Chains A and B, each alone.
Chain A
Amino acid sequence: MNVHLLHPDRDLDLEVVLPQHAGTVSDDLGLEVLLDRMAEGDERVRTACRTVLLAGLEDARAVRYRQAVVADVLRAPEVFAGLYEVIVAGLELAKRSYSGLFRDAPDALVRRAVERLQVSTDVLRRLRQDSAPVRSDLRSEGVTRLFELFATQLDEPYLREVEAQLEELTFPRGVLFAARLGRGAVGTGFELKRPRPQGWLSRSLDRSGASFELADRDDEGIESLGRLRDQALAEVAVVLSQASDDIEVFLRQLRDELAVLTGVARLHAALTAKGEPTCLPEVVSAPTPKLTARGLYDPALSLQLAEQVVGNDLDADDALLVLITGANQGGKSTLLRSIGTAQLLLQAGLFVPAATFVGSVGGQIYTHFGREEDEQLRRGKLEEELDRMRTIVDRIRPGDLLLANESFAATNEREGSELARQVFRAHLDLGIRVVVVTHLYDLAESLYRTESARGVFLRAQREEDGERTFRIEPGAPLPTSYGQDLYRRIFGESPSGTAAAEDPSQGARRAPHPQGGA
């Protein structure tokens, strides 16, 4: 019996080794905020969700399989949450019958395995019973197959038979075994037998048997009988321990996969409650990356704010480069994070934070976020940035995605621009998708000139009065940032009293590229 809720052909592996950069990606995208909401204090849910988010699926087929399961879960979230609770409680109960001892006598092993199996049997029955009412409403391959399994493999007659056998294994009629004579006429080849159903009475009347009883306080004899029992039970003890382990392995697997789905349902509920849109993205298989979104937002940001956040539209199909420039605090980083998070969620087979989203499955996602505010550590920070970038370059492969946020802003514009230019051009030439947020005009301007064929250029907008809208629209880079806006707002006047520069990119264009990819 396999769970296979999250993968068409295998179980979810929580032991999977996440890429080394996963922690950085998680920090840079603010995934902990999402995980907090998914976990609601349940560490198991957090861990499972974190793994699923950071270990993306391999292809569109796997993504669609999981999307269908997620859709089913969102149809009846209370059923899945209920199954999860039942299993968690059952496994907790079964754990009490574990022994702290490494090795145990078969007699004790059998007793504990039977106790564990009795608990597991109750859980299995609940799985079947609780899934039955919604079975016909659900459509995904993963859920349908699993619930079908519950109905056919955990049917009542089977569970009754299991319970009868467990009762037999408490040996109300004594332990009966066959044996042969081994070396030195010591019993060997022990085979545990099921006593005849008519009970010991008829058997004891059988004249071929011969009995004796131990004398009172024959401790040595009692020990000897214990050894015999242990020999007789050795094999069934292993079979039972294995059976209880097997079932618990199945239950733990199911629990872990349900933990993910429970977390996903919770996140969905939280976003929906705020009125934020979500959708299961349309996944396109194409030779060039696809990225078209409406109302794309950063869910981590949204969950931290009382109000709804501003979504952005994005048309970046076939673009290897997405370059975002514009006003400080104008939502550039937020858009970058939105793109990264959406891509991560898409590749995890989950819903994305957008009203509509068409995308494709890419490779690994890398983040390189500079922190320009750290002026005092400028020199060391550049080296640290370069070091991080070298680590990325060592690992990144064609088809991967690099999210660069103010990279190399730790040095002067000329130097930073040149460093970044070299790095990003090389990435693009390798077929690596790069989304760049930068205020380095030198960099932005040169990329705008040379990479228009494979790039999309966006700019954080401001209203005529200088108010930021947090909307980011297509637009060429501008030679100045909007620091003076901030200055003005905070100081109540512009620096040096000059008016804001005129915007030369009115009517900004989407970078032209060959039609139909020709």
Chain B
Amino acid sequence: MPATTEEPSEAVASLLWPCVRDGAGAQGQPLSDEAAHDLQLAPLFDALSRDAPWLRPWYATPCTDVEVVAYRQQIATELEREEVAAPLATFARRLQRVRQREEAVQRVTYPYVAAAWFLAAAQRYLHATTELLEELEALTLESPGLRGCRSALRSIVTGDRFRDLATATGAAQEAMEGVVYTVRVQTDRVTVDRDHGEADLTAEVAATFARFRTGPPRPVDRPPVEPGVDHVAARILELVAGQHPEAFAALTELHQHHQPLLDPTVAALAREVPFYLAYHERLQRIRAAGLPLCLPELVDQDAPCGAEDSYDLAVALKQLADGNPVVPNDWHLDPPERVLVVTGANQGGKTTFARAFGQLHHLASLGLPVPARRARVGLHDRVLTHFERQERITTLRGKLQDELVRVHALLEEATPGTVAVLNETFSSTTLQDARELGSAVLQRIAALGARAVFVTFVDELTAVGPATVSMVATVAPDDPTVRTFRVVRRPPDGLAHAVALAERYGLTDEAIRQRSTS
């Protein structure tokens, strides 16, 4: 059912950008490799763009424009429908092969071979594009992005250029199909000829031995045809061409007069589809495990924000693969709150919590589903991270210096629109240094108005000012040695945890004394 109220058919369509082709002015600062590593998004993005390297910068670059993100969110929503996603996935895969073929053709030095591969690529391209349009026409689409693409596709497919290509391709194909030739291979001599109707030797042999046959004939397992071309094959083809000039004229015509093969809009579409589908595919295991995913509500940067059942996507993928449970957490920041300060049990999920915070913001800014049940976030212009490094800096002084240099750089770069993730910053220095330096850094961040998560062992940093919120990685109430990986909003435990552990092992002051006096 072709819609009549769609965009003008000449519209330049993109699945990433509603109006502007290149997204100029709507993009923030790309996630640095370091930050992508710290947030554990790097392995995810690497996996997503393994066969599609052009996706990598798209995944790295946040959008700062609510309109763009909303445009993408609508597309992402619509692509949740299998009947919408499937034809686009097929199309993207086919076009990928066309592009590879096209590139391969460029490297072929034998003109007839190049032309023949061009013909094959043209057939794939025509088929993939026409079929996609047909399938999209049968769907009711809601998102402006997909409607615009369908509309653009329609005008391309019905346009002169596409039709001429189809005609020339058909003519060349028909001509090629009509060519029958014979080859005689002797020791080192090859003779190419037209078919003179010599008897089919295989059929003769089959007939001779038919009387011994009691079952059905065995299927022929042919050796695979090598797509590569060597000089012998090329030479044979030249001789064949010489004996079938008309057929090869049609082929040459196609190759010479229909370049470049791909319509740029179609090519762009094929590249953009995997941005959504690769991500969707990658998250299949998450969905299957029943973990929530959502498209976040977009609010202003200084508005209240938060997430329910937020979790670290990288850890979740690994935990699910290992058969372990994933523990999600809630957080919220109500102005003037800007910074989550996380303390609590060692190995209790603090780092994971901090990463989830950063991941959620970055993925939200891409317009893709985020790992949470519900989320409300403001867009950011950059994500900055500071994680403890395992460099070979052996002196405390050297290590602290390095940390300070990096934190300084972070603060220099930070803007009010920044999302910062600081993990165990100053954790290897003295408590006094950590308290003082941490406090200073937190105040700088608070003053900027940037949103941040700050993981520390220093309880006092949880109450630096109205901008900080205390979050605690908890242990089981009845057994302090059991970590729950739950990070909850409450004042720091202080020494409670240590006391509980001591009691459990009979190492409290009282217990030790009793023992020694008994």
Write the residues of chain A forming the contact surface with B, with a CB cutoff of 8 angstroms.
Answer: 1-2, 105-106, 153, 161-162, 165, 168-169, 173-188, 191-196, 200, 203-204, 206, 208-214, 218, 220-225, 227-232, 234-236, 238-243, 246-247, 249-250
Q: Is the CB of A234 within 8 A of B232?
A: no
Q: How large is the interface on B (under 10, 10 to 19, 20 to 34, 35 or more residues)?
A: 35 or more
Q: Is the CB of B185 within 8 A of A212?
A: no
Alpha-carbon separation in the docked complex, A206 to B219 (Å): 36
- When A211-B190, A211-B191 are in contact, do A240 and B205 touch as well, CB less than 8 Å? yes
Whether B288 sits at the interface, judged by CB under 8 Å, is no
Alpha-carbon separation in the docked complex, A225 to B223 (Å): 14
Q: Is the CB of B181 within 8 A of A178?
A: yes
Give me 6 other A-B pairs in contact (C-beta within 8 A), A195-B198, A220-B231 excluded. Answer: A179-B183, A180-B179, A184-B116, A193-B182, A200-B184, A212-B235
Classify the interface of chain B: helix, strand, loop or mixed.
Answer: mixed
Write the residues of chain B forming the contact surface with A, with a CB cutoff of 8 angstroms.
Answer: 112-113, 115-117, 119-120, 176-177, 179-196, 198-202, 204-206, 208-209, 211-214, 217-223, 225-227, 229-233, 235-237, 239-240, 242-243, 251
A152 to chain B minimum Cβ distance, whole angstroms, is: 10
- When A211-B192, A234-B220, A246-B213 are in contact, do A194 and B230 touch as well, CB less than 8 Å? no
Q: Is the CB of A176 within 8 A of B182?
A: yes
A246 partner, pick from B187, B209, B225, beta carbons under 8 A: B209
Chain B residues near A208 (CB-CB < 8 A): 193-194, 196, 243
Q: Is the CB of A2 within 8 A of B225?
A: no
Q: Is the CB of B225 within 8 A of A231?
A: yes
- When A174-B186, A213-B188, A227-B226 are in contact, do A181 and B179 touch as well, CB less than 8 Å? yes
Q: Is the CB of A178 within 8 A of B182?
A: yes
- When A227-B226, A246-B212 are in contact, do A180 and B180 touch as well, CB less than 8 Å? yes
Which of A177, A230, A247 has the most B CB atoms < 10 Å from its CB?
A177
Q: Is the CB of A181 within 8 A of B232?
A: no
Chain B residues near A192 (CB-CB < 8 A): 200-202
Q: Is the CB of B239 within 8 A of A212?
A: yes
A90 to chain B minimum Cβ distance, whole angstroms, is: 15
- When A175-B185, A186-B233, A224-B230 are in contact, do A153 and B211 touch as well, CB less than 8 Å? yes
Chain B residues near A186 (CB-CB < 8 A): 116, 225-227, 229, 233
Chain A residues near B220 (CB-CB < 8 A): 234-235, 238
Minimal Cβ-Cβ distance residue in A for B104:
A184
Q: Ordered nearest first, which 6 A-B pairs have the shortest CB separation? A: A185-B116, A243-B209, A174-B186, A224-B232, A209-B193, A246-B212
A-B contact pairs, 27 of them (CB 8 A): A165-B208, A181-B177, A183-B120, A185-B116, A185-B176, A186-B233, A187-B183, A191-B202, A192-B200, A194-B201, A209-B191, A210-B242, A224-B230, A228-B185, A228-B232, A228-B233, A231-B222, A235-B202, A235-B222, A238-B218, A238-B221, A239-B205, A242-B209, A242-B213, A243-B206, A243-B209, A246-B213
A210 partner, pick from B226, B237, B239, beta carbons under 8 A: B239
Minimal Cβ-Cβ distance residue in A for B121:
A184
Q: Is the CB of A178 within 8 A of B184?
A: no
Alpha-carbon separation in the docked complex, A229 to B187 (Å): 11
A214 partner, pick from B191, B193, B232, beta carbons under 8 A: B232
Chain A residues near B236 (CB-CB < 8 A): 187
Alpha-carbon separation in the docked complex, A228 to B189 (Å): 13
